[in-house]
């Protein structure tokens, strides 16, 4: 019990004052290459496309955090490390699930067999034809997975940071370069155009501060 409020036995209807009646239509995220007049209808969006939409959204959200002028109000990035790293780790997961979904893996298999295991998802994607692409510095998708897998598996330190708050911070300019290329790989596999306004550039001086 917090502040005298009783524990709710069931979730009430969303309060209209908070906009609980409004919904977001994810179909607006996609347009067919052959039809640029409107969003795809719900029945045209596959599971793979849904994973892809979500991955792109996670990376865009992480990029927005890195670029946010709000960071300059604080002397360190404590408030931003966990949400930014969490979004990027989840992006890796759903991008790889998008690839596997295209290659015949159903939602139940992806949820129950692979769950949040980034290395297993990556290894399986490689067996189904995912090609490694090196960026200018030589880092690969494998390096991306390796940088985030320990933070995205039990005991889930990005969700439950109770073990000394030790979170390795990768070089974000390289991370986002790899995400750009991974996004393009999945988009090409799905036959979807890469958005012209997809700009995830980050400079080295915008890295998350470790103290």
Using 50, 70 and 90 to split pLDDT, how confident is the model at 43?
very low
Alpha-helix runs per DSSP H in the chain: 47-67, 78-102, 107-109, 118-127, 141-148, 172-190
Residue 121 pLDDT greater than 60, yes or no: yes
What are the angstrom distances between the C-alpha of 175 and each of 20, 40, 103, 200? 35, 30, 25, 10
pLDDT value for 109: 87
Rounded to an integer, what distance in angstroms lies between the CA atom of residue 53 and that of residue 179? 14
Q: Pick from 208, 206, 138, 210: which is nearest to 178 by CA?
A: 138
Using 50, 70 and 90 to split pLDDT, how confident is the model at 120?
very high
pLDDT value for 52: 93
By mean pLDDT, which of 36-40, 44-48, 166-170 is the weakest? 36-40
Work out the percent of the chain whose per-residue pLDDT is above 70.
74
pTM of the model: 0.80
Distant-in-sequence, close-in-space partners of 23: CB < 8 Å, separation ≥ 6:
none
Residue 32 pLDDT greater than 70, yes or no: no
Q: How do residues 81-119 score in pLDDT, each as one tens digit?
A: 989 999 999 999 999 999 999 998 888 888 888 888 899
Between 180 and 165, the more confident residue is: 180
Task: Write down the mean pLDDT value for the chain.
Answer: 80
Contact 142, 132 (CB under 8 A): yes
pLDDT value for 137: 67
Terminal Cα-to-Cα distance of the chain (whole angstroms): 35
pLDDT value for 3: 40
DSSP H helix total and E strand total for the chain: 6, 0
Using 50, 70 and 90 to split pLDDT, how confident is the model at 25?
low
Residue 122 pLDDT greater than 70, yes or no: yes
Rounded to an integer, what distance in angstroms lies between the CA atom of residue 179 and that of residue 162? 29
If you average pLDDT over residues 132-151, what whole number do you get?
81
Rounded to an integer, what distance in angstroms lies between the CA atom of residue 193 and that of residue 35? 12
What are the angstrom distances between the C-alpha of 70 and each of 9, 65, 77, 193? 38, 8, 10, 32
């Amino acid at each position: 019990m917090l502040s005298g409020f009783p524990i709710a036995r069931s979730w009430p209807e969303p309060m209209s004052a908070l906009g609980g009646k409004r919904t977001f239509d994810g179909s607006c995220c996609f347009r067919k290459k052959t039809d640029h007049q409107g969003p795809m209808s719900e029945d045209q969006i596959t599971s793979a496309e849904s994973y892809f939409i979500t991955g792109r959204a996670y990376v865009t959200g992480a990029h927005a955090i890195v670029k946010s002028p709000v960071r300059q109000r604080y002397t360190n990035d404590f408030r931003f490390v966990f949400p930014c790293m969490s979004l990027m780790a989840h992006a890796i997961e759903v991008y790889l699930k998008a690839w596997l979904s295209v290659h015949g893996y159903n939602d139940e298999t992806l949820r129950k067999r692979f769950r949040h295991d980034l290395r297993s998802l990556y290894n399986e994607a490689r067996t189904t034809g995912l090609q490694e692409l090196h960026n200018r510095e030589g880092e690969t998708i494998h390096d991306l997975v390796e940088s985030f897998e320990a933070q995205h598996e039990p005991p889930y330190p990005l969700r439950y940071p109770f073990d000394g708050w030790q979170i390795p911070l990768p070089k974000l300019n390289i991370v986002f370069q790899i995400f750009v290329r991974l996004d393009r790989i999945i988009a090409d596999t799905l036959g979807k155009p890469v958005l012209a306004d997809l700009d995830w550039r980050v400079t080295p001086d915008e890295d998350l501060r470790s103290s």
